[in-house]
Structure 1
Amino acid sequence: MDLLLWITVGFIIIGFVVLASMKKSMESKLAFIKRNMESKKSSTKSIVWWIVGTTAWGIVSMNLIVWCFSAK
């Protein structure tokens, strides 16, 4: 198999593992924010950055897949 395909598959699998491992902590932070509406500043930042990172990972993954299959 092509090196670009291996890089793409590895990036996607590692991304899924990282996102799945962080999901539980983000759910608990969101529950904390819902319980304590006045102290939401620091926890909200981490949730927003997790969403930004997830979106960036998704966009990069889609671009890698398109690039991988258009390069052949």
Structure 2
Amino acid sequence: MDLLLWITVGFVAIGFVDLAFITRNMKNKFHQSLATRSIVWRIVGTTIWGIVSIILIVWWFLDHFG
């Protein structure tokens, strides 16, 4: 397997683990005053992670099959 595939798989896997960890910890923060800001940054970060993941997957497919 090539390096781009390993980078893509690693990025997606680490993102899923991080997303699960942050989601579990966010359940305890709903009672704090800064919870809204944390939730907004979580949504922004998850969106950016998703876009980069899609770009990496498409790039790998184009590189591998194109």
TM-score (norm 2): 0.87
Task: Please give the alpha-carbon distance, in whole angstroms, between the structure 2 residues aligned to 1:24 and 1:9.
Answer: 23
Q: Which residue of 51, 67, 70 corresponds with 2:59?
A: 67
Alignment-derived partner of residue 10 in structure 1: 10
TM-score (norm 1): 0.80
**Larger RCO of the pair (alpha carbons < 8 Å, separation 6+):** 2
Task: Please give the alpha-carbon distance, in whole angstroms, between the structure 1 residues aligned to 2:52 and 2:29.
Answer: 26
Alignment-derived partner of residue 37 in structure 1: none
4+ aligned runs moved over 2 Å, structure 1: 27-30
Q: Which has more radius of gyration? A: 1
Identity percentage of aligned residues: 61
Given the alignment of the two structures, is residue 44 of structure 1 paired with residue 22 of structure 2, yes or no?
no
Question: Whose helix fraction is larger, Structure 1's or Structure 2's?
Answer: 1
SS at match of 1:5: helix
Shift of 1:17: 0.5
Shift of 1:25: 1.7
Pairs aligned (count):
64
Shift of 1:26: 1.6
